[in-house]
Amino acid sequence: MHDDTRAAARHAVGRPRTIWGGLGRTVLVMLTVLAVSSVSVAAYGAWHLSEKVRGGAISLGTEPVPNIEALNGAFNVLLVGADNAPGQKSWGAARDGTLNDVNILVHVSADHKRGTVVSLPRDLVIPHPQCTDTKTGQVFPAMSAQPLNTAYARGGLSCVVGTVESLTGLNIPYAALFSFEGTVKMADAVGGVPVCVTKAIDDPDSGLKLKKGVSVVKGRTALAYLRSRHGVGDGSDLSRIASQQAYMSSLLRTMTSASTFSNPTKLYGLANATADNVKLSESLASVDTIVQMALALKSIDLDRMVFVQYPTAEDPLNPNKVVPSAELASTLMQRVQQDKAVGLGKDALGLSTKLAKDKKSSSGSDGETASTKSPSPSKSASAEDSDVISGLRGQTAAQRTCSIAAR
């Protein structure tokens, strides 16, 4: 067994935790919806949405706002899910501060034909650079060996961006911050997302109850699925990331196959939910910029949108934390820095997912049926064999996967 695989398997249940169920890809989908809505619905509605987007913009404080021309090439966006965000109500235990529990880096290639979505574990122990709170001007000194999810408490979204930039070597000019409430409202607005589990799940920690097979989840059930740790895989945060990627892939397939973009009422509802619940960096808080980004994303085929887990190994000082798997992480990030394709091997699926079986589901109409064949991992990497990174875990948006229920 690969060393990183053994480490991931051991990265299991530690202290009880309340975590934001990541919905990174949702945000980009919804930004696309916001863009389309802003130019297709009534003039007042478009103006109203534009004002909402601009009103809550967050400064990253590191450089001038990029102009639209910057989207002609490759670009990077950081999507941050906040646990215990300001205004959060009835979503689990209160914390002393806000944590960036979900950190998803999206890279779109210069030719807008490929996308690489990297999920960075909340418990990834790494150095944190000096950063400045863009609201207060307070300077926070650099730190060594601290979990990634403590970055937000040091200075907000800009400090999370700076920390991920330091780790990955990438320039990240765009960012978005979202919370529990946004997850629920956006899942409701899209009409639910099909998810699949290998057997019935009843996880009291997250509140998730699902029957075996395919179910369409929305609202609190969607959030519970995204948050469930004890109900899937080996109970680790890494297993949960795999389920989140399965959800995000399903959401994207649902959005592109269910005539959502031709329904003005649904479009406006999606866009409004996004504008109400997602805070954008100043660089992104422009309908023009969002339109340009949406057009770039629109050209990416599902099998060329690759979701991967940032490579990790067990932290030798704490079995409930992880550290970068140096060689594999370096290979991945060099490939992204150089704007090269990231391919997945035949055994790349995450710890808690497996390919869905090619047979009809009894769940009813759900926007995508289990009768549609799932591409095999080796064929769905959308890259030549030379692009495959051995040992990397993840899936493409084209693959239909099921979460493996915990035993």
Q: Which residues contact 296 (CB under 8 A, 6 or more apart)?
A: 71, 75, 108, 112
Phi, psi values for residue 298, rounded to 5°? -60, -25
Angle at 184 between CA 117 and CA 178, to 5 degrees: 50
Closest CA to 377 of 351, 401, 406: 401
Q: Would you give the end-to-end CA distance of the chain in angstroms?
A: 21
Given CATH 3.90.1560.10, say whether it is the number of domain 3-403: no
Residue 212 has pLDDT above 80, yes or no: yes
* Residues 170-194 pLDDT 10s: 999 999 887 766 767 777 777 888 9
Q: Which residues contact 85 (CB under 8 A, 6 or more apart)?
A: 98, 177, 179, 180
pLDDT class of 369 with cuts at 50, 70, 90: very low
Looking at residues 130-148, what average pLDDT do you find?
Answer: 93
Closest CA to 71 of 36, 122, 103, 108: 108
| 256 vs 173 pLDDT, higher one | 173
Q: What is the DSSP pairing of strand 131-132 with strand 208-210? A: unpaired
Instruction: State how far Cα 150 lies from the chain centre.
Output: 18
Looking at residues 49-56, what average pLDDT do you find?
Answer: 64
Beta bridge partners of 105: 78, 118
Closest CA to 149 of 94, 81, 72: 81
* Residues 373-399 pLDDT 10s: 444 444 444 446 779 999 999 999 999
What is the rounded CA–CA span in Å between residue 388 and residue 398? 17
* Residue 58: both structure tokens together: 């967050």
**What is the rounded (10 degree) CA torsion for 192, 198, 204, 210?**
40
Residue 96: its pLDDT value, please?
63
Domain positions in the chain are 3-403
Q: 156 in the Ramachandran plot: left (φ > 0), alpha (ψ -120 to 50) or beta?
A: left
- Give the number of other CB atoms < 10 A from CB of residue 386: 8
* Residues 309-333 pLDDT 10s: 999 999 999 998 999 999 999 999 9
Beta bridge partners of 176: 79, 280
What mean pLDDT, rounded, does the chain reach? 76
Residue 72 has pLDDT above 70, yes or no: yes
What is the rounded CA–CA span in Å between residue 287 and residue 271? 11
**What is the rounded (10 degree) CA torsion for 12, 17, 23, 25?**
-40
What is the rounded CA–CA span in Å between residue 403 and residue 42? 41
Buried-state track 68-91, b at ≥16 Cβ within 10 A, e below 16: eeebeebbbbbbbbbbbbeebeeb
Residue 340: its pLDDT value, please?
96
- Give the number of other CB atoms < 10 A from CB of residue 125: 19
Residue 104 has pLDDT above 70, yes or no: yes
What is the rounded CA–CA span in Å between residue 305 and residue 145? 32
Angle at 350 between CA 161 and CA 25, to 5 degrees: 40
Residue 42 has pLDDT above 60, yes or no: no
Residue 206: its pLDDT value, please?
83
* Residue 375: both structure tokens together: 């591409």
Q: Is the dihedral of CA 109, 163, 97, 17 positive or negative?
A: positive
Residue 291: its pLDDT value, please?
67
* Residue 198: both structure tokens together: 């290998």
